[in-house]
């Protein structure tokens, strides 16, 4: 079951650079875990913004919130979640 999640990161200007670098590293490791197990099939960078467009494939809304709210960057992110269904024109 698919959801689009548009994430925008709002980095506090006065955050300690070392703290931030650690969060970013853990964020990538955490995300790639779900990319490898098929829960997180797509992620694209939005040009010109600290934002992405992501597609998640999950079993339930609870599972999706579990994944999203445990992103290390979650406290610094604004997320828009859009429920997706199969399009009548889609070939796959």
Q: Which stretches of the chain bind its own copies, using CB under 8 A?
A: 1-5, 11-15, 27-28, 31-32, 35-36, 42-49, 52-53, 60-62, 64-66, 68-69, 75-76, 79-91
CA-to-CA distance for 78 and 8, rounded, in angstroms?
5
Q: Which residues are CB-contacts of 18 (< 8 A; sequence separation ≥ 6)?
A: none
Smaller CB separation from its own copies, 21 or 28: 28
Minimum Å gap between C-beta 81 and its own copies is: 4
Smallest CA-to-CA distance from 67 within 11, 3, 23 is with: 3
Minimum Å gap between C-beta 22 and its own copies is: 15
């Amino acid at each position: 079951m698919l959801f689009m999640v548009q994430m925008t990161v709002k980095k506090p200007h006065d955050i300690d650079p070392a703290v931030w670098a650690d969060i970013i590293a853990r964020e990538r490791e955490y995300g790639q875990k779900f990319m490898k197990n098929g829960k997180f099939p797509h992620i694209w960078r939005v040009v010109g913004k600290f934002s992405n467009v992501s597609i998640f494939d999950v079993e339930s809304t609870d599972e999706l919130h579990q994944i999203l709210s445990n992103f290390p960057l979650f406290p610094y992110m604004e997320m828009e979640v859009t429920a997706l269904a199969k399009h009548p024109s889609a070939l796959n």
